[in-house]
Structure 1
Amino acid sequence: MKALIFAAGKGTRLQPFTNFHPKALAEVNGIPLLERNIKYLQSHGINDFVINVHHFGEQIIKFLELKNNFGANIEISDEREKLLETGGGLVFARDLLSSEESFLIMNADILTDLNISNFLKFHLDGNNFVTLAVSDRQSSRKLFFDKEMILKGWKNLGTNETKMACDNDNFRELAFSGIHCVHTSIFEKITRNGKFSIMDEYLDMMMTEKIIGYEHNANLIDVGKPESIQQAEKLFL
């Protein structure tokens, strides 16, 4: 299975580092995030990657060349002309992913010890359309799931903005982990184009498609700001 790693973001919360470098090359205990995640996925048997780039994208390309792609098969989805966010970035990389039955998506700034092998097996065994890794942790945005772990809604806890497929007081509220497995048929169902968030598409698709949550209790840190790097360095040596 191929993995799409989103590495294009500007990482404004990691300034001043990201004033001169891409967020994906921020280091945790001396090892860049992108390197950590490539090796992490390789440890679960994934060796084919698509990596999107935008902000200081040339630094990522040169870094991978210097490291001989860590022995992996890596294709670059080059968004340096225009940043497309997660949904637009996925559509832009379509030609590099459409030969797959399903593919993994992961944000470059996520560090986790989630057992990806078990996650992928769950997705494939269930013949799922989309599987979202989720956990019960503090987050400003929550996804709502019914008792069968089917996505039914979303809420921004800061603004109280909500999007719901139906009303229910018994939904489980879980946080998205930035890791998803997607069936390639998604490209036929995405309605947006240009720059957009894939989560907006998921929230539209939940009205007609089964988007499944995979709950885990693995360590997971969104390395989006300097203090999260300090936290990550305690867990990921």
Structure 2
Amino acid sequence: MKAMILAAGRGERMRPLTDRHPKPLLPVGREPLIGWHLRRLKEAGITEIVINHAWLGRQIEETLQDGAAYGASIAYSAEGEKGLETAGGIATALPLLGDEPFLVVNGDVLTDIDFTAAKQRAASLRSQRHLAHLWLVGNPEHNPSGDFALADSGMVRSTGESGGRMLTFSGIGVYDPALFADTPPHQAAKLAPLLRAAMDAGQVSGEAHSGLWLDVGTPERLAEADRLAQAW
């Protein structure tokens, strides 16, 4: 199984820290933020990794190189300074990801979500005729209304009107490449509309994660991530 780490965001809310360094390279404990994902992916036996980048992306390649220091093999998908949004970035990287379901991880979160479980979810995705499996978390203060609804059946809905509790998308999911079949590469495109369409077709499953998850989107949350990482 391959994994993609999304690392192309500009990090506007993290400025001025991101004026000179891309957000994934900001220090969190003994590692750059992205390093925690690389180590945990390796622990889960996922070593073929694609990383997209945009703003100051050359620094990411120079720092991580081929991934050998993390026991991984890294391929890079460069998008230019502006980036292509999430779906556009994934669609552009599909030639590097292959034809099988793959894991995608937002590069700006700190979490202990079990990446080993992602391999199990990927294995069953096509037998269930699903296009995605998402990890959802409790709603943080900056997103009190949540993003999607998780039904008792384990299916994810676009709203809570059809039942289920509204939770926040963790930024971590397993996707079938078919989800991006109509998304042209090298063009900006958002992920949420694709997911909502698949949800409405009954093709997205999910699960709630109650452990560590932090959206490292501001200097204050970066400091919190650094504190949490000291205990790892």
Normalising by structure 2, we get a TM-score of 0.88
CA RMSD in angstroms comes to: 2.2
Structure 1 pair 76/67, CA: closer, same or farther in 2 (3 Å)?
closer
Hey, what's the Cα distance between the residues in 1 that align with 2:223 and 2:81? 33
2:86, 2:74 → 1: CA distance? 19
Distance, in Å, in 2 between the alignment partners of 1:144 and 1:64 is 37
Are 2:210 and 1:234 equivalent residues in the alignment? no
Structure 1 residue 118: Cα displacement: 2.1
C-alpha spacing 1:152/1:67, structure 2 compared with 1 (3 Å): closer
Matches within 5 A, 1:117-136: 117-125=116-124, 127=127, 128-136=130-138
Q: In the TM superposition, what are the counterparts of 1:174-189 in structure 2 within 5 Å?
A: 174-189=167-182
Task: Please give the residue correspondences for 1:134-149 in structure 2 after superposition, counting only pairs within 5 Å.
Answer: 134-138=136-140, 139-140=143-144, 141-149=146-154
Shifted more, 35-44 versus 141-150: the winner is: 141-150
| SS of equivalent to 2:121 | helix
Aligned to 2:109: 110
Equivalent residue letter for 1:234: R
Matched residue type, 1:208 = A
User: Is the partner of 2:200 in helix, strand or coil?
Assistant: coil
**Are residue 207 (structure 1) and residue 203 (structure 2) matched?**
no
Instruction: Report the Cα offset of residue 83 of structure 1.
Output: 1.1
Q: Unaligned stretches of 5+ in structure 1?
A: 155-163
Partners of 1:66 and 1:182 lie apart in 2 by: 24
- What residue ranges of structure 2 are gaps of 5+ in the alignment? none
User: Residues 179 and 194 of structure 2 are in contact (CA less than 8 Å); yes or no, is this contact kept in structure 1?
Assistant: no
Which 10-residue stretch deviates more, 183-192 or 69-78? 183-192
Asked if the contact 1:191–1:201 (Cα under 8 Å) also holds between the matched residues in 2, the reply is: no
Residue 176 of structure 1 aligns with an amino acid whose one-letter code is F
Shift of 1:229: 1.5
Compute the displacement of 1:137 (Å): 3.0
After TM superposition, the structure 1 stretch with the greater mean CA deviation from structure 2, 57-66 or 35-44, is 57-66
Counterpart of 2:210 in structure 1 is: 217
The count of residues paired between Structure 1 and Structure 2 equals 224
Question: Which amino acid is 2:212 matched to?
Answer: N
Aligned runs of 1:84-99 on 2, under 5 Å? 84-99=84-99
Counterpart in the other structure of 1:45: 45
Structure 1 pair 235–217 and aligned structure 2 pair: CA distance change class (3 A): same
CA contact (8 A) 2:22 2:59 kept: yes
Equivalents in 1 of 2:196, 2:131: separation in Å?
A: 14
